[in-house]
Chain A
Amino acid sequence: GAGVSQSPRYKVAKRGQDVALRCDPISGHVSLFWYQQALGQGPEFLTYFQNEAQLDKSGLPSDRFFAERPEGSVSTLKIQRTQQEDSAVYLCASSLRDFRIYEQYFGPGTRLTVT
């Protein structure tokens, strides 16, 4: 079956531009996560949805970052007025249920470069 997909795979933005990153989770997965992975580091949690409800956004680094999942399926991560420090790979993951024993399936990521 289809895995988690993300688009675009690569995005170059000029400093100050707004960007929108899309995630299509595995069908039927309740939980959806966004992570940020800086070069040479492990992924770091940004935000989490259970269906359409955003239950935790404690990892979002600033109020320039905004995420939504309006129908409990596709999710969009938006970054306003991009800065160079936003350059990273943004990973989306989905999980069947909201419990720690369930595996998270990762998408290929969107590599954002801010120039």
Chain B
Amino acid sequence: GNSVTQMEGPVTLSEEAFLTINCTYTATGYPSLFWYVQYPGEGLQLLLKATKADDKGSNKGFEATYRKETTSFHLEKGSVQVSDSAVYFCALSADQAGTALIFGKGTTLSVSS
């Protein structure tokens, strides 16, 4: 079946450090891929998405590229800020079952100044 695996956290970085959060997926067909973020005390919100192979999603300095050959969608940011501290979820939406999202377990990022 379809599934998402993302790296375990927590990830602790200093401000301005480079961030990578790994995400790999298993899916039939051609899923869409998403990164959602959950800031402390807030709801889930979409950070970026990619809907076909080789697409790059980007937002707020974050980027992720849909790599079909490695079934990956790693999240990167060149210089993190304290305000990026949050829980990050990788998710996919397949062409089945009403396009329900399948989420990874989440990675907690903590950035200190």
Residue positions of A touching B, CB distance < 8 A: 31, 33, 35, 40-45, 48, 50, 55-56, 58-59, 91, 93, 95, 98-109
Contacts and interface: CB of A to CB of B under 8 A. Distances in A.
A42 B103 contact: yes
B101 interface: yes
Contacts of A35: 101
Nearest to B95: A100
Contacts of B105: 40-42
A58 B97 contact: yes
B61 interface: no
A108 B101 contact: no
Interface residues of B, number: 27
Contacts of A102: 99
B81 interface: no
Given A42-B103, A95-B99, A100-B94, A108 B51 contact: no
Contacts of A55: 98
Interface of B: 4, 31-32, 34, 36, 42-46, 49, 51, 89, 91, 93-95, 97-106
Contacts of A44: 103
B9 to A, nearest CB: 10
12 contacts: A33-B100, A41-B105, A42-B106, A45-B101, A48-B98, A91-B43, A98-B98, A101-B32, A103-B34, A105-B46, A106-B43, A109-B43
A98 B44 CA distance: 20
A41 B99 CA distance: 20
Contacts of B31: 100
Contact of B51 (A41, A42, A101, A109): A101
A111 to B, nearest CB: 12
